[in-house]
Structure 1
Amino acid sequence: MTSLGVSLVDALLGESRRAAVDDGSVRGADWRLATVATVGVDGTITTTDTVIARRLESYVGPKVGDLVAITVSGSGGWVCWGRLGAGATTWTPYTPTFTASGGGAAAGNAVVDAEYTLRGDECQLRISFVAGSSTAFGSGGLRWGLPFTAASLPNASMFWAGSAMCSDAGSAYFPGMCRILGGTNYLVGISATTATGSTPTEWRPATPFTWATGDYASFGITYKIA
């Protein structure tokens, strides 16, 4: 009888330990890794195992699939510290959209190489773009999409500025700048002069030259994300 009683106690203790591993309110404060399943508009994320955690202010630009560190208090409340870095680099590749303000643009078989890195709400961004045979340039100003929407600015005339360069299939090079307006999710290129020497202008299907296969654009910029 004594042996049976001891076995029963051991079994109950083992079950209690297993329950404590799964329940933060039992085991006290703890942390673990999780994957983001959904991003709420109320400053929370929900993990793939249904934990709802409030984000720290430093965790900006959350995305589905992020590998994050979450922690739980003794009372069972969850907090998400932020995403983990990917290996030895903090740069994340992404594919920017390619559009035009008047419509009709499409990247087609363009070669695109873009990546970003975050430090708090600061996003450092690099985009390289080589037009392909099926790339369409549409009409109006050419636009390259951002990984995160830019934060709003106090005045509509204000913007973030960066460097840019484009080339007419390697035969002529046009250094310039790029800019991001507050609250937008794209950047535009601006040349100091066009091929005919006219005034500074945003890049369009025919400026600073007529864009075609093999033409190249490159951007580098840092901006604050929303």
Structure 2
Amino acid sequence: MTSLGISLVDALAAETRRASAADGAIRGADWRHAVVATVGTDGTITSTDGIVARRMEPYVGAEVGDIVVITVSGTGNWACWGRFASGAGSAWTSYTPTFAASGGGAALGNGLMDAEYTLTGDECSARISFVAGSTTTFGTGGLRWGLPFTAASLPNASMFWAGSAMCSDAGTAYYPGMSRILGGTAYLVGISATTAAGSTPTEWRAANPFTWATGDYASFGITYKIA
């Protein structure tokens, strides 16, 4: 009987500890790791173990699978501070941009693409490098390189974010220009200056500022506000 009594006491104590751990009002303020299962449209995330936490302002661009810090108040309200850093501590994250043309028909094929971004609040800085391969196609219309996040809307359709750009005809000629992001879009375009030899002030296309072919390359750098 004594043994049974001790077992019941142990079980009740264990259950009390579990309930206390789940109840912020009992446990008090605390923090722990969590993995994002879903990202809400209301500024919250839900963890894989069912905790709904409101995101703090710096945690923009939340993604499923992020390992984050969540904290709970003494009254049981949860907040998510943001994701943990990965790798060797660099704030830059690699991603694979899309490559397209406004009129269709563009494909990277065996070309090369290298890109990364870093976030500071809702400010995104991105770098994209592109090298055309023998099976890369350029389609029709303006060429487009994908961004890691959709840009925020702007007050007027004529407004845009601007950055740097440069392309080269297989290393034989270089064309400086600018990169442009329109509000509400998820890509940038390259635009050559009017003074660049063989170019016109329009988006880079299959034959602008030169006829793109194997070994031609482009690089972009830009900072913009994300949606």
**What TM-score, normalized to structure 2?**
0.91
Q: CA deviation at 1:203?
A: 0.3
Are 1:171 and 2:168 counterparts? no
Give the superposed CA RMSD.
2.0
Gaps of 5+ in 1: none
Letter in 2 for 1:129: F
Where do 1:35-46 residues align within 5 Å? 35-46=35-46
Q: CA deviation at 1:105?
A: 0.9
Question: Structure 1 residues 131, 197: CA separation in 2 closer, same or farther (over 3 Å shift)?
Answer: closer
**Which residue number in structure 1 is paired with residue 108 of structure 2?**
107
**Which residue number in structure 2 is paired with residue 190 of structure 1?**
191
Q: CA deviation at 1:191?
A: 0.8
**Which residue number in structure 1 is paired with residue 148 of structure 2?**
147
Q: CA deviation at 1:93?
A: 0.2
**Identity score, percent:** 78
| Alignment check: 8 A CA contact 1:151 1:225 kept | yes
| Alignment check: 8 A CA contact 2:161 2:223 kept | yes
Letter in 2 for 1:29: A
**Which residue number in structure 1 is paired with residue 16 of structure 2?**
16
Question: Structure 1 residues 82, 37: CA separation in 2 closer, same or farther (over 3 Å shift)?
Answer: same
Are 1:209 and 2:206 counterparts? no
**What TM-score, normalized to structure 1?**
0.91
Q: CA deviation at 1:198?
A: 4.6
Provide, for residues 66-89 of structure 1, a one-character-per-residue CA deviation record: whole Å limited to 9, x for no partner: 111111223332211111222410
| Alignment check: 8 A CA contact 2:189 2:204 kept | yes
Are 1:62 and 2:62 counterparts? yes
- Structure-1 separation of matches of 2:122 and 2:198: 38
| Alignment check: 8 A CA contact 2:198 2:210 kept | no
Segment of structure 1 superposing worse, 44-53 or 20-29: 20-29
- Structure-2 separation of matches of 1:137 and 1:198: 17
Where do 1:80-91 residues align within 5 Å? 80-87=80-87, 88-91=89-92
| Alignment check: 8 A CA contact 1:195 1:209 kept | no
**Which residue number in structure 2 is paired with residue 222 of structure 1?**
223
Segment of structure 1 superposing worse, 185-194 or 112-121: 185-194
Question: Structure 1 residues 64, 8: CA separation in 2 closer, same or farther (over 3 Å shift)?
Answer: closer
Provide, for residues 10-33 of structure 1, a one-character-per-residue CA deviation record: whole Å limited to 9, x for no partner: 543233123323443431221111
Gaps of 5+ in 2: none
Segment of structure 1 superposing worse, 118-127 or 80-89: 80-89
